Structures are given as C-alpha cells and as structure tokens.
C-alpha cells in the first residue's frame, strides 16, 4: 500500500521538475497520466486518483528515493564535471557528441542529474527501447509529446515540437543496445533537427567497438551517423593501466568521502573503483545499520 508520506514525496519531486516542461499537459504525458489526474494530484487529491502502480512509476521516473534506498550525495568528480560540461555544450550549441568509456565511472548518474536540473533535456535508456518505434515513442513521451498515435504522426509531431523548443537536448545512454533501424532513425532525426537540437550518445567500450566494426564493414548509415557526432570517440578515463587505476581510485575516494564511506583502500579492493559497486556497498552498509 502506498502511504500518504510517499505520495507527498512524489508531489515534491513533481514540483521540482515542473519548470523543465512547457506546460502541465506536457508533463502529464511524460508522467504517463491524464491532464485531469495531474491537475487533481497537484491540488492535493491523493486518494483514488492514481493507482499504486502509477505512483510507483512516477516515482521511478523522477528518481524519488523510496523504501530503504541509501541517500546518495553527488560528488563533483572529474567524470561528473567533464560529462556535465559536454552536455551543457551540446544543449547550448545544438551540437552532438559521442562518449565511449568504461562502465561504472558515473556517466549515467551525471546524465540523470543533468536532466533533473535542465529544462528541455531528456534522458533515454536505449537498453529499454531498442527498436526504432520504441526509441522514437520514448523520446516523444519524455518531451510530453503524444506518443501512442500512428508512428508517422508521432515522429512528425516530435520533430515539429523539438523545433519549437529553446535548445532541446536528447541524451542516449546504452546506445550500443539499439537495433540497426533505430540507428538509421537517429540519423534521420538528427537531419530533421540540425542546428536546433543537441544530441549526446554514450555507452561503454562496447559501443565504440560496435561502431568501429560497422564502419569497417561499411554498414550503411554508420559513417554518416559517426560524422554527425563529431567523428570522435570522447573519453574521460586515461588509457594506460596505471594511470587509469590512479584515476579511478581518486574518483572513488571523492564519492566515498561525500557519502561517509570509510577505509578507501578496502573499498577500492572490493569495487575496483566502479562507482556502481561503491553504491551497492553503501546500500549494504545502510541495510546493516538499519537492521
């Protein structure tokens, strides 16, 4: 059963994110509820307006901390600063960049944090929307554009709406999971929104390997797409093993200190500097303390 306290936290998150949307109608689409439902919960009608599953869905969309999830403090690591800078450049200048770097350095966390604070910016987890239609419909939904109509209408409405916004930005995470037709559709979307929309594609080293492989095979569309994203694989971590280890340890120590995690040496031995694993260790400690 969803409690009133939980619903109130969701409402607070809605209020925080509301300035990012052009209208209540757009935000209600992004949240997956009707405009009438959105209006009612904003007025404080918390009972029998939304099903529990809808409250949970909205909470996950807005990254509301619920249950026994550990409270996580943002540390301004080199990765956080570099990715934030690149995202801001893409949005302000309507350009496109491609980041390919190892997993667990905080790329996804930074992108999600950026979207929370930036109007007209959306985050897409491509591992969840691998096909062409799923991808475009999800981008439309995130911007508050009707996404359940005939596909051609959704596509055209999305392109039209992006052209009306001031410096929209689409962040494509886990882009290596996209099916080939989705990559081609991204090229079409880029063409249709050139000079008016920023695009930021990112993934782990596997994305780089996939693109390089398809470029060698001269797979149709990849050379054009790579060109549109600057013809360069952006990277933050050093290439050399020793330098990379030192970098990861420093990044991890900043995060650990910000979140009150002691014994850096032991933590690094357990996690090898992966911030994803650091979060898991923090969650374990939190659960142990609660018990």
DSSP annotation string for 181-242: HHHHHHHHHHHHTTTT-EEEEEE-HHHHHHHHHHHHTT-TTHHHHHHHTTTS-B--S-SSHH
What is the distance in angstroms between the CA of the first residue and the CA of the last residue of the chain? 22
Q: How confident is the model at residue 67 (pLDDT cuts 50, 70, 90)?
A: low
Please enumerate in sequence order all residues whose Cβ is within 8 A of that of 258, keeping only pairs 6 or more positions apart, or say none.
73, 74, 75
| Domains of the chain listed by start with CATH number | 4-61 (no CATH), 80-228 (3.40.50.300), 252-290 (no CATH)
Residue 246 pLDDT: 95
Q: How is residue 127 annotated by DSSP?
A: G
239-247 mean pLDDT: 93
- Best-predicted range by mean pLDDT (66-80, 101-115, 273-287): 101-115
Whole-model pTM: value is 0.92
60-82 mean pLDDT: 87
Q: What percent of the chain has pLDDT over 70?
A: 97
Reported as a single tens digit per residue, the pLDDT across 128-140 is: 999 999 999 999 9
25-47 mean pLDDT: 94
Residue 117 pLDDT: 94
Residue 63 pLDDT: 87
CA-based torsion, 241, 246, 250, 253: positive or negative: positive
Please enumerate in sequence order all residues whose Cβ is within 8 A of that of 209, keeping only pairs 6 or more positions apart, or say none.
none
Q: How confident is the model at residue 118 (pLDDT cuts 50, 70, 90)?
A: very high
Residue 25 pLDDT: 95
Residue 70 pLDDT: 77
The string over 260-282, giving b where at least 16 C-beta atoms fall within 10 Å of a residue's C-beta and e elsewhere, is: ebeeeeebbeebebbbeebbebb
Distance between CA 192 and CA 151 in Å, rounded? 16
Residue 286 pLDDT: 67
Reported as a single tens digit per residue, the pLDDT across 139-191 is: 999 999 999 999 999 999 999 999 999 999 999 999 999 999 999 999 999 99
Residue 33 pLDDT: 94
Residue 291 has pLDDT above 70, yes or no: no
CA-based torsion, 55, 60, 151, 162: positive or negative: positive
3-29 mean pLDDT: 93
Tell me the Cα Rg of the chain. 20
């Amino acid at each position: 059963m969803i409690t009133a306290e939980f619903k109130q936290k969701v409402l607070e998150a809605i209020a925080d994110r509301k300035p990012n949307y052009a209208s209540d109608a757009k935000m209600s689409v992004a949240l997956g509820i009707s405009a009438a439902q959105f209006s009612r919960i904003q007025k404080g009608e918390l009972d029998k307006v939304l099903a529990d599953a809808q409250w949970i869905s909205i909470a996950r969309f807005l990254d509301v901390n619920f249950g026994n999830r550990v409270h996580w403090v943002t540390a301004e690591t080199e990765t956080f600063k570099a990715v934030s800078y690149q995202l801001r450049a893409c949005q302000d200048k309507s350009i496109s960049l491609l980041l390919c770097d190892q997993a667990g350095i905080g790329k996804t966390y930074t992108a999600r944090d950026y979207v929370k604070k930036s109007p007209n910016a959306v985050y897409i987890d491509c591992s969840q929307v691998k096909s062409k239609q799923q991808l475009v419909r999800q981008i439309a939904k995130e911007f508050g554009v009707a996404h359940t109509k005939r596909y051609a209408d959704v596509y055209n409405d999305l392109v039209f709406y992006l052209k009306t916004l001031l410096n929209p930005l689409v962040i494509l995470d886990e882009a290596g999971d996209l099916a080939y037709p989705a990559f081609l559709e991204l090229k079409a979307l880029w063409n249709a929104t050139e000079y008016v929309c920023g695009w930021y594609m990112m993934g782990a080293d596997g994305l780089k390997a996939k693109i390089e492989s398809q470029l060698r095979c001269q797979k149709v569309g990849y050379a054009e797409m790579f060109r549109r994203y600057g013809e360069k694989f952006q990277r933050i971590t050093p290439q050399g093993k020793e330098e990379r280890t030192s970098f990861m340890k420093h990044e991890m120590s900043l995060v650990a200190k910000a979140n009150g995690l002691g014994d850096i040496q032991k933590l690094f031995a357990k996690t090898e500097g992966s911030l994803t694993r650091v979060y898991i260790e923090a969650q374990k400690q939190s659960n142990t303390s609660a018990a």
